[in-house]
Structures are given as structure tokens and as C-alpha cells.
Chains A and B, each alone.
Chain A
Amino acid sequence: MSRRGRGSALVEVALAGVLASALLSGSVFIGRAVLAARRSHAVARYAAALSAAGVPSDAVDAELTDYVARLGDGITWSVGRYNRTASSRFYRLTEAVATADIALPPIAGGGHRTLTSRAVVEEEHP
């Protein structure tokens, strides 16, 4: 093979490598993001269900800490009253918001992005 031919093959291999690594990196990122979204949503759902059922907040926090530890993600959550819409003020809606931080791949500029999940349900009558 001539020097020119070897050079061209090297360029093709390098190009293929860059494309493959970009695809792989993108796929891994999307996979992590989707998994984080699903897990944070599960945490929000669980937090809303427990809080609306009248479970004390410290017991909810302890239960969710265990739950998040099992999931293995750095997910944080908060629970409060949902009253963002005018009609929601006529009800006693409990809102749980869970957030998950995911690291962006270097190809996307690096850094972090926060995924937020929300679950809202009416409180159980005491």
C-alpha cells in the first residue's frame, strides 16, 4: 500500500473511531438520563403516596432515604402543598418533587443537568 493509501485509511479509521465514540457516549448519556428520570419519578411517586397517606415527615424521609440508597442514585426530594392552579386551592393536594443530577458527557460540553419529577395526590382524610 502506498503512503497516500495508508494515510487515507488512517483518516477513515480515525473518523470511524470518533463517530463510534460519539455514538457510544451519547447512548450512555441517554441511558443514564432515562434511568435517572425513571428513578426520580419513582421517588416522587413514593414520597407523594406516603405523605398524602398521613405518614409523619420524619418517617417519610427515613423510608425515602432507604429507597434512594437501594436505587443507588443521588436523588433529592421535597414534599409540600400543591396550589399552583386556582382550582387546586379547593383541595388538599400533596406534591412531591424529586430531582436527579446527571453529568453531561464532554461532547455535550460537560457539566450537570437536573431532571425534575413531580407527583401530586389528594391527602387522605385524617
Chain B
Amino acid sequence: MNRRGSALVLMMLLTVAALITARLCADMMLAWVGTQRAQTAADFALLSAVRVRGQSLETVAARWDDFGAPITHSGGTLNAPASLVTAIAANALALKRALPGYQGRITSALTVAAEANGVARTAVTQSTPGGLRLGLEAQTQFLSSTGFPTLSIEGLWLRRVWLDTAEAGTAAVSVAWNSPRLGGSWTFTAPASARLEWDADTHDVAVAADGNGGFSGDWVSASSGALFRPDRYPVYRAQLAALP
């Protein structure tokens, strides 16, 4: 009788041990799936935000070209036909005021894409916030015109803040993920890194001679002979980068 009782207790203990082991194995496998989901959320949220940044830069350049194309450069001053000065000043100011909106769209894209991939915005941490900045600064400049007094115009041209012409900056985020387990939860992070590359054909002779990374970094490179062209070939491509 005692021997049978001992066997039953042993079997029960073994059963409990087996159940705990099975639960731990299931938790580990769920965490394994969780790592993949967290990585996808990190990659795609970041890629979305960097793509929106590229689109914003292209849109800003197109808006500037709409009013800035007639501006010419001679002897260190900018000139425009008298009939266009008022419109140029108004559009330049409007574009300058719109820049924070383009920045907000980048930040919002990170949130929207993260949530669409099942991750709350609070779980996303930006490691290099500079990589998700629009990266343009509106510059005030004098504009001359025959028959008009020389005007100081806000936002007359836009300067890029990134240095490298081939790349408009690298952004990195990490997503924190909690995976439930017996008696608590495992927390791990999924890192992602992406860069915005200048997507112009640098083998093209014209691009090689005249390209400036999409936007000029200083006053000198904003001018191209008699033309004033602060943005040149503003096309960008977001690329996920391998982490070190």
C-alpha cells in the first residue's frame, strides 16, 4: 500500500514537472515569435518614417522650385523679375512656415506604422533622433529687383543640415517587447537602423558636375553659375541598414 502511494506521489510530481517544462517551452516559443514581430515592427516603422522624410524633402524642393526657379544670382546677390518679387516673398514665407508640418508628418509616420504593426508608440525609442529630422533650415536672404527696393526675405532658400552628400542621415530606433512567461515576462528589444540615401544617378555627367546631395549645405553651393538652385536632383531612397 505504501509502495503504491509513493509511486502515485512520484508520478504526480513528474506530471507537475512535465507541465511546468511544457509551459516554459511554450513561453520560449512564443517569445521566439515575438522577437520576429518586434523586429518587423521596428524595421517597418523606421522604414516608413524615413520614406516619409524622403518624400517630404522632395515635396519641399518641388514647392521651392515653383516660386524660386526665376531667381538668378550675380555678384553675390539674388535677383528676380519685379513682377514676381511679391509672390516669391509670400511663397517663401509660406514654405518656411510649413517646414514644422513636414517634420510632424515624419514623427507621426513612426507612430502610425508602429501601431499598425501592433506596437504602442511608447515602446519605440529613438536612438538617433537626428536621423528622423527633416534636416532643412530656412534661410533669410536679400532679393534685388529692378524698380524695387532690395528686400530681406524669410525662407528665400533652404539649407540642408546634413554633411554627407551621398547620405542624408541615419536613423535608429528600438522596440521594447514583453513576452509573457510563467511567473512574469521576458523583455527584449529589437533594434533597427535605416539611412536616407541620395538617389540621383551620380554616373550621369550633369549630376556629377552639378549635384549637391539634393540640397545645398551652404551659400556657395546654392549657386550654379548665374542660376540660384539650392536644391539639385532632390531624390531620395530609404534603405534599412545592417546593424553593427
Contact = CB atoms under 8 A, between A and B. Distances in A.
Interface in B38-89: 40, 44, 47-49, 51-52, 54-55, 58
Interface in B96-131: 105, 108-109, 111-113, 115-118
Contacts of B33: 34, 37-38, 41
A38 B238 CA distance: 26
A124 B51 contact: yes
A91 B19 contact: no
- Size band of the interface chain A makes with B: 35 or more
Nearest to B19: A23
Contacts of B117: 118-120
B32 interface: yes
B18 A23 contact: yes
Interface string A42-75: 1011001000000000000000000000000000
B112 A16 contact: no
A38 B32 contact: yes
Nearest to B37: A41
Contact of B48 (A15, A31, A34, A93): A93
29 contacts: A5-B4, A9-B4, A12-B8, A23-B19, A27-B25, A30-B22, A34-B26, A34-B33, A38-B33, A38-B36, A41-B40, A42-B36, A44-B40, A45-B36, A45-B40, A85-B112, A87-B108, A88-B112, A90-B105, A91-B52, A91-B109, A95-B116, A117-B37, A118-B118, A119-B117, A120-B44, A122-B52, A124-B51, A125-B51
Interface of B: 4, 7-8, 11, 15, 18-19, 22, 25-26, 29-30, 32-33, 36-37, 40, 44, 47-49, 51-52, 54-55, 58, 105, 108-109, 111-113, 115-118, 236-238
The 5 A-B residue pairs with the shortest CB-CB distance, nearest first, are A122-B48, A120-B116, A34-B29, A121-B44, A122-B51
